[in-house]
Amino acid sequence: MIQPRHNRLSLVAALLLVTSLATSYLASADPAVNDNGNGTKTAIWDFSNPANYTSSNVAIARNDLRLRSTPGSWLETSNADFAANGSADAAARVTNGSVRLVGNEANLVANGNFSQASNWTWTNGTAGTIGARPSLGTGEFLHATVDNSTQFHSMDTGGGWSGANSFGATSSPSLDSIVKVEGTASVRDAITLPSATMWAGISQTGSTWDFSPYNRLSVWLNTSFSGPGQLQGFLHLETGATTWNSTTVVLPNSWARVEFNFTGFGSNLTSIIRLDLRFTGAVVTGANVWIDDLWRIYRKTLTDTASISQTFTKPTTGNGLPGSVLLRWDNDVSQLSNVTSARLRVVVQNSTGSTQSWVRDVTAVAAWTSHGMDLSMFLALPGTYTIWFELQVAIDTHLPTSADIHVDNVLLKAPDYRNGVYLSNAFDAGSPAEWRQVNWTAQVDGETSISVETRSGSTPSPGDPTWNAWLTHASPEPIGSPNDRYLQFRVLLRTLNSSRTPTLLDIRLDYSRYATAGFIESLPFLPAEPLVGWRRFDATEYVPSGTTILFEIHSNGTWVTVTPGETLNAFPNTAIQIRASGTTANTSLSPRIVSMSVMYEYVGSLWTATLTPGSWSGNADQSFLFVANGYDRWGHAVAFTPTWETTDPGGTVSAAGVYNPHTVGTWIVRARSPSGVVLANATVTITPGSLLRLDLNPPSASAPAGSRIPFSLIGYDGDDNVAVLSSTIWSATSGTFLTEIPGFALLQLPGTPASVIVTARHGSVSTSANVTVTSAGTPAINGLHMEP
């Protein structure tokens, strides 16, 4: 290969080098062409554009050519699918188009929605204030008491009241319309008590009263007494034969209701003929006691309990883990008034008498609310159990009381689920297959899970030596089992809570099988640049055992088998096509081609040139033909039309490269590219051409006889270059040359006046000067001084 001499301007050269080394990638074409930066390019077929190929039974994707794959799948999504293609173990079952665990899913409590009165035992409270009964599809606890109080005196008139006092004390009752609690007035009793043991107050007589339906006298009291000591009051009752005093109470200094318990008077309460309110306990010099609104009341103080209960049987054994046995129910509070406390209690008892309970204090009316108990440990064992709903009400008031609480939707489930398995039959793909994805839809929560295991083999008998181990899938993903003809799966249904079951709704296993043979063929390819030659074929391929790939290149009507790495120097410089043919004996495997490529050598753009010859020497009369040869960056010949120039002043170079010298010296002949870049130089050395004329100096003179005249001689060629004089012949018509050299002569004039012609001859070229010889005087020699 020619190694040309590089002679470029540095900046231009650098720019062209960067451009040349840049990789050219034709993104929209197939093949893509990469410049290797060494005079070769590589055409790469990476299958990015299927339209640029003809093919059969192959799948084309960028950097991935395989045999065509035909998909298949097995789908189970109904009872018929699950039943026909596998079976569940004793802990699992196929139902409602799904697979789930087997369990006792019934409500252990019968008639939990109280749709009828049966199955429940209804027990009323022993005090008779609470009833337990079915009511409008609920279980109801109903508590109620009445207010049987009556007003004894309003104190608005003071009628029937008179003062009463012990000896020495005083009582002066009167109406007070200003200081009162209700109505129009109260009774004000102005009292004095000289001694703390004395008493004074007000008294009512004149009738017989029956106090037996009541147990308290309720009265509003107020006093102006501020001490010292404490003013107290008590109730005094009399019959015709008996008197009775209640315990004392301290009188308030502002209005307050005070109750006097008279149950201690017993059977005498049916015939009361006198009632006094007496005040005592302190020395009172003068104080007012106000009395208002007296009532006979019956204060109810009791606790009563009613229940709704049922005995049930749990047939199965649970694991006792939290959440495995749950009791749930709803209740509301539609009425609640004037009770001291109301407590709803739920109790579950086993056959040994042990209990687990839930208690809630009822404090206000409430809408329907759901509640629950975790009985997982308590009801882990099978056996007979009893459940109670109890309402306990405590009251301490004379006012009417009520409580109305409903219970509904009692649900007690202990399905006692345990882990189970669904096992499929062996599925036959028909021939070895490539396993794809296993997908399933499941209903699970934080305490349940479903996982799938797969295994594959070569026979329809799972477990024989051709079958591999189970592979677990915690979530949908690629099957991952070794590719083969047969596939089996099993579903593991797991629960950490024996009251919860996972549910498999459907499962799908995808696979595919490759065609046994296929091919791909590229379109004809010929580089856009002048082709030097095809150099090498390569391919990135994966060929599993049992598969093959045959590569062929078509050129000049013939398909030739090639192998990756093979040289292509013998191929003619014509368009080529590449064909790849794949086969497989195992339809679960396919050979794969990432890419195919052909490297070729090409003629690049003009980079440099040489001039032949690189130097020349000649005279100005000659001409010389220079030949410019262009090359690309890697030495490939590139034809071009140079632009010529020379540094020779007056010299020229024709378009054909012919140099016509002009000036004597050493000069440069240059060849430029069409873009103006200097590509090559040649050095020329020019000597004078043939002697064309002589210049004699002085050309004429006048000098005295016998004097001496020097003459100088210069020769010129046709371009006015000074020629070298080597053999000048000097002659004169008279006189004698004292000195004769090629470029100088010294003439001794004759002793007498005369006209002398001096001639200098060099070859065929001559020149003359006329000299006038004078007899006396100063000579004149055309600017030269004559030597005597």
The whole-number pLDDT of residue 780 equals 47
Mean pLDDT lowest among 272-276, 449-453, 513-517, 555-559: 555-559
Residue appearing with tokens 């020349």:
616
- The answer to whether residue 13 scores a pLDDT higher than 80 is no
Query: Which CA distances in Å does 613 have to 416, 627, 657?
Result: 107, 7, 12
Residue type, 670: R
The whole-number pLDDT of residue 27 equals 38
Q: What is the pLDDT of residues 232-290, one digit of tens each?
A: 999 999 999 999 999 999 999 999 999 999 999 999 999 999 999 999 999 999 999 99
| Residue 6, beta-bridge partner list | none
Q: Kindly state the average pLDDT of the residues 130-141.
A: 97
**672, 680 contact by CB (below 8 A):** no
Q: Kindly state the average pLDDT of the residues 312-317.
A: 92
The confidence band for 498, taking pLDDT boundaries of 50, 70 and 90, is confident
Helix (H, G, I), strand (E, B) or coil at 308: strand
The whole-number pLDDT of residue 497 equals 84
The whole-number pLDDT of residue 17 equals 37
- The answer to whether residue 26 scores a pLDDT higher than 60 is no
What kind and span of H or E run contains 79? helix 79-85
Give percent above pLDDT 70 in the chain.
95
The whole-number pLDDT of residue 776 equals 63
d(CA 172, CA 163): 6
The whole-number pLDDT of residue 29 equals 62
The whole-number pLDDT of residue 62 equals 96
Out of 3.30.1490, 1.10.3470, 2.60.120, 3.30.410, select the CATH number for domain 72-103+417-514.
2.60.120
The whole-number pLDDT of residue 67 equals 98
Structure tokens at 221: 């009291």
- The answer to whether residue 781 scores a pLDDT higher than 70 is no
The whole-number pLDDT of residue 324 equals 85
Give percent above pLDDT 90 in the chain.
90
Structure tokens at 645: 């120039």
d(CA 642, CA 657): 9
Residues of the chain by 3-state class (helix, strand, coil), percent to 5: 5, 55, 40
Give φ, ψ of 499 to 5 degrees.
-100, 0
Q: What is the pLDDT of residues 650-678, one digit of tens each?
A: 999 999 999 999 999 999 999 999 999 99
Q: Do β-strands 722-723 and 729-732 pair in parallel, antiparallel, or remain unpaired?
A: unpaired
Query: Which CA distances in Å does 753 have to 698, 700, 710, 722, 731?
Result: 19, 15, 18, 36, 18
d(CA 79, CA 169): 102
d(CA 123, CA 146): 22
Say if residue 228 is preceded by a cis peptide, omega within 30 of 0. Answer: yes
Structure tokens at 163: 């003062």
Going by C-beta distance under 8 Å and a sequence separation of 6 or more, which residues neighbour residue 681? 7, 611, 668, 669, 670, 671
Q: Which CATH architecture has domain 150-297?
A: Sandwich (2.60)
Structure tokens at 551: 């590569």
Q: Do β-strands 138-145 and 150-153 pair in parallel, antiparallel, or remain unpaired?
A: unpaired
Q: Do β-strands 484-495 and 427-443 pair in parallel, antiparallel, or remain unpaired?
A: antiparallel
Q: What is the pLDDT of residues 385-440, one digit of tens each?
A: 999 999 999 999 999 999 999 999 999 998 889 999 999 999 999 999 999 999 99
Going by C-beta distance under 8 Å and a sequence separation of 6 or more, which residues neighbour residue 664? 620, 686, 687, 688, 721, 722
Q: What is the CATH number of domain 693-774?
A: 2.60.40.10
Domain 608-687: which topology?
Answer: Immunoglobulin-like (2.60.40)
Phi-psi bin for 122: left (phi > 0), alpha (psi -120 to 50), beta? Answer: beta
- The answer to whether residue 556 scores a pLDDT higher than 90 is no
The whole-number pLDDT of residue 321 equals 84
**281, 196 contact by CB (below 8 A):** yes
Residue type, 228: P
CA 101 to chain CA centroid, Å, is 36
| Residue 559, beta-bridge partner list | 554
Q: Kindly state the average pLDDT of the residues 618-632.
A: 96
User: Whole-angstrom distance between the N-terminal and C-terminal Cα of the chain?
Assistant: 75
Q: What is the pLDDT of residues 316-367, one digit of tens each?
A: 888 888 888 999 999 999 999 999 999 999 999 998 999 999 999 999 999 9
**569, 553 contact by CB (below 8 A):** no
Domain 121-145+301-398: which topology?
Answer: Jelly Rolls (2.60.120)
Mean per-residue pLDDT over the chain, rounded? 93
Going by C-beta distance under 8 Å and a sequence separation of 6 or more, which residues neighbour residue 501? 100, 101, 103, 415, 417, 448, 493, 495
Report the candidate in 592, 589, 590 with the shortest Cα–Cα distance to residue 483.
589
